[in-house]
Structure formats: C-alpha cells, structure tokens
Amino acid sequence: MQRTILHVDLDAFFCAVEEILDPRLKGKAFVVAGSPTGRGVVTSASYPARKYGVHSAMPTAAALRLFPRLVVVPARHHVYGEHSERVMEILRQSVPVMEQISIDEAFLDVSSHPDTGERVAGALQQRIRTELQLPTSWGVAPNRLVAKIATNVGKPNGLVVVPAGTEAAFLAPLPVGMLWGVGPKTQSVLAELGVRTIGDLAAMPVQRLASRFGERAADLQAGARGEDDSPIEESREARSISNETTFARDVSDTEALQRTLRSLVEEVGRRARQAGLGGTTVRIKLRWPDFTTITRQVRLPQATDQDGEILAAALDLFHHAWRPGAPVRLIGVGLSNLGPASRQLSLFDHRWEEDSRLLRAVDSIRERFGDDAVLRASDLPAPGEGDAHPKGPVGPKPP
C-alpha cells in the first residue's frame, strides 16, 4: 500500500500564542525572548520581525540592534504547552496514527484514511485555525523526509503536496542544507565537491561522496532521492525529561549552583511523576562562558521518579565535572531511559514509599497554588544573587 504521510508545523508558535493573548501584537515585529540586558536569547520571532533578519537562538540584544523598535515579550512556556496539547488532541482524534516530535510539530500517517492526504491536511489546517486561532503549515508526501521538507517550502500557512514518484524532482532544485543531516560542516564539504542543491547531491557519483563521507555517502544520496522508509510511531511517552537554566551572569558559587540544580531536579521529578514514568539514566549539562558545553551521565540500578535519588546522582556528576570556582553559564539536568514507574522494595523498605507520598503531596500543592507555594529554606535566594533565565522543558512534553 502506498503510504501517505503528513507533517504539520505550528507557524511561529510561541508568537502565535502571544498574539491570541494580546491581539495588539498582530502584524508587529516582536519576539518571545529573554531579557536583552542579560544573556537572553530569542525563542520565537514573528514573521514581520524575520524581515529584519531576526531569528530564533540569536541573542536578544543582537536582535534589538537589527531593529531597535522590536517588541520583546517574556516566554510563558506553560501556556504554550497548554495550546500545544489542544492541537495534538485534535490530531490524535482525527487520524489513525500520529507521532508528536516536539511542542509544535507532528507526523501523521493517513495511508488508511478514506480521504486523500491533501483533503485531510486541508481540513485539519482549517479546523485548527478556526477553533484555536493558530496558523499551521503542512507537507503531504509518501514519506516523512519529503513531507517535512514540503512543510518548510510552504511556510507560513502553506500546504504543499508531493505526489508519489515525484519526490526526487521536487527536492532537486532545493538547497542541500534543507536535507536532514546536512548541517553547516557537511554543507561546507559538499560545497568543495561542487554540490549546492539536493539534485547535485543525487547526481554525484557515490564513489566520490564515499571518499569524503564513507558509509554515510549512501544514506546522503538516498535522502537526496527522497527515499525514506522510517515509520510513523504512535508514542505518547517522553523519550527524556529535562530542564535547564541560563544564568544572567556567570555563576561560580557552589551553593548557588547546587541550589539551581536542586530546583531543576524538582521540576524533572514532578514531570516524571505526572507522566507515571521513571528513568534509569540521570544526565547533567554544563556550559562554560566560552560556550563550550559538556554532558555527563550515570545509569541507576533501577528506574526512579524521586527527587532525592535524581539529585544525588546529579550532584555526584556535577562535582566530578566542575572545578570549584569555575564560572558556569548554563546548567541542566535530565532523566532518560524512561518506562513505567516501578520499585523493587524490600520487606522493611518504607522510606521510599514515605518519600513518594510526600513528593506527590508537594506536587499537588504546587499544581494548585503555583511553584512557589512550597519552597525549601535552602532554596531562598541569597541577598544580591543574580537572576537566572529558565528555558523550561526541553524535548518532548510528557503525556
């Protein structure tokens, strides 16, 4: 059976949500970003802002230099998560198989749907616009690789259909950088070989590519021809749960860093418990002032969703990776290798159960009254301590 795969991307999603909350922003050049006076970065840029060269991941201060009248809106990640869930629920109810890949993207397999892919995509695009006031772009193709590229070609508010058998012809004139797995370094090497477009890559003798890319050459050419047999997998479980914070000023104080790490762990643990998941791998992430970034991880003997166990592992990793007094720009913690939360308890092991009940009670209070409703005394900020800019959840949101 010929596959029909849809890809949907919520256009400038964070900005689109902010326009719903404040209609005065519509048509304006604005960004959802951190403070320009610290080390804030642009998370999302409206399309009018993009006309001035503003884009996501650039420092907020640099964006303001490009366009001084740029409006800067602080991020509200929990609100974006709520809007994302509404969109994803519509998709889940409407198609046989849906795979969410980020807060604002999903793949849909409608191969067994009675309507054409174009009609399904068009109807969903209209419904999301009408019911949720959110703009979306869509790609329709025989596989996920071409469907995603079709979405990018049509943005914003586009719906691009690539019929079966035309994949290579559709891709041929596009810049080779639009192909999955072709980043700046790969582009540079390909440019040395005279490859500028995806069509150039498809036509390049595989032996010549192999001399530079080895076994990867065959995969690059398969992608350039629009070949991709990877399935759409219905999965409502997070592959990992993580959180990180970028400091407004570099932090080198041990207590401040440990306090931040504890706060990040509490958020990760709360999300794991909400999802009914436990993880066996704890990971930390550290970024130095020169943007060098390291990660360290450790595997636990059994899956956990408990803050104390996650924190103990994270602190051990931190003290092995961090030199006392070294300034830190960013710190993060993650929990992965997720599965159903379970525990092998001994006959006399009651402390874990007591800790679990306490944590769930704290979760319930914070859910009802806010994150600051329950604080550890050690988490109260020291006088004069610099602020940090949390980035919020990273990676797929748990169900």
Give the 3-state secondary structure of 218-265.
HHHHHHHCCCCCCCCCCCCCCCEEEEEEEEEEEECCHHHHHHHHHHHH
- Hey, which residues does 330 pair with through a beta bridge? 246, 287
Amino acid found at 324? P
Residues 360, 272 contacting (CB under 8 angstroms): no
101-107, long-range: CB < 8 A, 24+ apart: 101/396, 102/395, 102/396, 103/13, 103/396, 103/397, 104/9, 104/10, 104/13, 105/7, 105/8, 105/9, 105/10, 106/7, 106/8, 107/5, 107/6, 107/7, 107/144, 107/147, 107/148, 107/232
Find where tokens 């762990």 sit.
Answer: 265
Q: Which of 105, 118, 227, 385 is catalytic?
A: 105
18 is catalytic: no
Residues 143, 181 contacting (CB under 8 angstroms): no
Mind telling me the catalytic residues? 105
